[in-house]
Structures are given as C-alpha cells and as structure tokens.
Amino acid sequence: MNRKLGFTLVEIMIVVAIIGLLAAIAIPSFVKARNTSQQNACINNLRIIDAGKEQSAMAYRLTDGNSVLTASVNEYIKGNTTPICPGGGTYNYSLIGSAPLCNGVTITSHTFAGA
C-alpha cells in the first residue's frame, strides 16, 4: 500500500515523442505560411509603388524611360514614405514604364508586371 502516484519514465518519453512528432509536422507549414505572407505583402507594396510612379509621371509629365525621384513618388503613397519590405530588403523604383523591384523577398508564386 506504499504505492507512489505519478508518471513513469516510459509514459513521459511517449508524451515527449508525440509532441516532437507534432512539432516536426507543424513547423514547416508555419514557415511556408510566413514566406507566402511576406511574398503577398511585397507584391502589394510593389503595386502601391507602381501606382505612385504612374501618378507622379502624370503630374510631372514624364514619359517612359525617364528616371523618377523617390520623393516625388512618395507624395502619392500613403504616409509619404517608401513602404517597408517585409523581408528586410529595399525597393528599387526603376524607370517610368518599368516595374519596381524588391531585393528583400524572393517572389516565386507571382510575378509583378506592373499596370
């Protein structure tokens, strides 16, 4: 009648193994979801920059191939600033008539071609 209450070492090892198995299954899904979210945010930022470039080009009467000033484009972006890259990179506004570029997030699922 001197039996101690608690879990045995085998029971604890089984629980730890199950938790490890579930983590091994779930972690890659979380990483994929984070990467997809960063790509979508980057694509949206590129779309916003392209729209700002087009508005700036119309306001300053610029034609395709002209260089664009970041400050003049940012006037047409909410917050009057360059969007922040979710991957920690920077955006290159490029020339009028060409799509802006991002060097922070590798976009694999979509291709932004501009408007």
pLDDT digits (tens, 9 = 90+) for 30-81: 999 999 999 999 999 999 999 999 999 999 999 999 999 999 999 999 999 9
Give the pLDDT confidence score for residue 109 in this predicted structure. Answer: 55
- DSSP E strands in 48-107: the ranges are 91-92, 101-102
Compute the distance between CA of residue 84 and CA of residue 77 in angstroms, rounded to an integer: 12
Model confidence band, residue 106 (pLDDT cutoffs 50, 70, 90): confident
Both structure tokens of 20: 């490890």
Record the pTM: 0.75
